[in-house]
């Protein structure tokens, strides 16, 4: 099997624990007597763990072979999923194992992209970067399918236990695909010297490579892609954490029950929306990255609010709107990442990717909790208007992004050569 294909497949397996909690959220909320805010915080735990470690892992890829970091991430991810399935029994233990899972995925997602991109160049690199980003959606769909089946057939604990097998398979695939490759030296000595942290606090400098970040942030395009990724992730992960719960609510309002359970419907939505990331990157190359990002960001947020207001409409219409929203959210994902990879200075690319993930998943960590809090404040999970308020709350950044883009670049994103 081609090494690039193996890395893409491993990416899917590494994500199998991602949706386990989302599928069980409604059941665990009742079982553990949690509020919507608390249920959202457990979902946010994944992203908190990711955010806490991502900068360190990615900065390390500027100095060490990314494969070792990736393998460690696989082990941590497996421990997080297995621990949740075997030991979690309430809010705090559930939050802890979600934190551990997030820390593991933070060591596989961007380091995995680095392993892939280091073995490719030019247009092929950009295309595979978009594939890699899109395969995140396939991994989420696979997680939804596995978790939905295991939860329904065996119970939620088995769902998490089975998900732990995914990172193990990812580790094996990447090792087999790259085992004959020489240890990769990411930079020349001259480039390494430019990015090397200064001072005596080496560990702090490794976790927060501020000097390298300053070099990266001198590029306006880098700043724009980072802000865009942050507001994108807040909406993306807030939506993904609560989609199964929203579909469950919508189904409860239906006179005609859909043929599939909420988790299966959510999996279909994720699979259908996966090509949107790849196609979106191709559209961005024609229309311009800035214009495409602004267009799909605002459209996705508007559709999310409309979708929630129509929660009581026929299930097939709600599903179409959920799918459309998911496609619009995903349509700028690869564009943002490919833009960051292309615009970040080579000598600090790893640190730039780390900061990009830190900001994105930091905002992603807020998303599920903000969604749950808005749901509680606006009337609870039985009110259509409360769901609309929750989708508005996580989409505000995307709705504001056109103004941020205009302020940053001083011109309309739809101008020629913008």
Q: What is the pLDDT of residues 194-243, one digit of tens each?
A: 455 544 566 677 667 788 888 888 888 899 999 999 999 999 999 988 99
Residue 194 lies in a domain: no
Under the banding of pLDDT at 50, 70 and 90, the label for residue 34 is very high
Residue 320 lies in a domain: yes
pLDDT attached to residue 192 = 56
In whole angstroms, give the CA distance from residue 341 to residue 116: 12
- pLDDT tens figures, 129-147: 778 877 887 888 899 889 9
Token pair of 49, please? 């763990």
Residue 150 pLDDT exceeds 60: yes
Out of 31-35, 152-156, 206-210, 332-336, which region has the weakest mean confidence (pLDDT)? 206-210
What b-and-e string marks burial along 87-103, b requiring 16 or more CB atoms within 10 Å of the CB? ebeebeebbbbbbbbbb
- Residue 201, CA distances (Å) to 87, 205, 206, 207, 208 in order: 37, 6, 9, 10, 10
Token pair of 323, please? 């799918």
Q: What angle do CA 403, 292, 333 make, to 5 degrees?
A: 100
Provide the domain limits for residue 172: 3-177+205-409
Residue 256 lies in a domain: yes
Please list the alpha-helical segments (H only) found in 253-348: 262-287, 289-309, 315-330, 333-343
pLDDT attached to residue 183 = 66
Residue 188 lies in a domain: no
Residue 277 lies in a domain: yes
pLDDT attached to residue 194 = 45
| CATH classification at residue 147 | 1.20.1250.20
pLDDT attached to residue 11 = 94
Residue 197 lies in a domain: no
Residue 254 lies in a domain: yes
Q: For 371-381, what is the mean pLDDT?
A: 92
Phi first, then psi: what are they for 272, rounded to 5°? -65, -35
How many structural domains is the chain composed of? 1
> Taking the model in full, what pTM does it have?
0.78
Residue 300 lies in a domain: yes
- pLDDT tens figures, 90-143: 999 999 999 999 999 999 998 998 888 777 666 677 677 778 877 887 888 899
């Amino acid at each position: 099997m081609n090494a690039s294909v193996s890395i893409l497949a491993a990416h899917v397996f590494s994500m199998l624990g991602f949706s386990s909690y989302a599928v069980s959220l409604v059941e665990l909320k009742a079982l553990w007597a949690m509020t919507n805010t608390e249920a959202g915080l457990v979902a946010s735990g994944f992203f908190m763990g990711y955010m806490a470690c991502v900068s360190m892992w990615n900065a390390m890829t500027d100095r060490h072979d990314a494969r070792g970091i990736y393998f460690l991430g696989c082990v941590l991810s497996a421990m997080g999923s297995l621990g949740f399935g075997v030991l979690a029994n309430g809010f705090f233990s559930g939050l802890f194992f979600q934190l551990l899972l997030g820390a593991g995925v933070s060591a596989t997602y961007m380091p995995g992209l680095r392993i892939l991109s280091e073995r490719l160049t030019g247009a092929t690199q950009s295309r595979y970067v978009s594939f890699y980003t899109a395969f995140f959606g396939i991994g989420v769909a696979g997680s939804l399918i596995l978790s939905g089946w295991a939860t329904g057939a065996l119970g939620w604990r088995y769902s998490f236990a089975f998900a732990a097998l995914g990172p193990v398979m990812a580790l094996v695939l990447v090792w087999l695909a790259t085992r004959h490759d020489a240890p990769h030296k990411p930079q020349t000595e001259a480039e390494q010297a430019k990015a090397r942290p200064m001072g005596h606090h080496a560990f702090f400098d490794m976790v927060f490579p501020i000097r390298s970040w300053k070099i990266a942030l001198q590029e306006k395009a880098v700043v724009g892609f980072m802000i865009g990724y942050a507001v994108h992730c807040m909406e993306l992960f807030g939506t993904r954490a609560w989609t199964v719960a929203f579909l469950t609510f919508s189904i409860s309002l239906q006179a005609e029950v859909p043929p599939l359970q909420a988790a299966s419907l959510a999996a279909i939505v994720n699979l259908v929306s996966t090509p949107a990331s790849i196609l979106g990157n191709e559209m961005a190359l024609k229309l311009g990255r800035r214009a495409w990002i602004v267009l799909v960001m605002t459209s996705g947020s508007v559709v999310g609010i409309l979708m929630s207001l129509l929660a009581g409409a026929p299930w097939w219409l709600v599903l179409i709107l959920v799918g459309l929203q998911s496609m619009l959210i995903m349509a700028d994902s690869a564009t943002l990442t490919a833009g960051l990879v292309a615009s970040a200075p080579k000598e600090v690319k790893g640190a730039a990717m780390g900061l990009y993930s830190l900001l994105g998943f930091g905002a992603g960590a807020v998303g599920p909790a903000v969604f749950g809090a808005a749901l509680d404040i606006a009337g609870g999970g039985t009110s259509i208007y409360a769901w609309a308020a929750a989708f508005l709350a996580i989409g505000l950044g995307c709705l504001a992004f056109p103004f941020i883009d205009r302020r940053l670049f001083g011109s309309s994103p739809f101008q020629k050569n913008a």
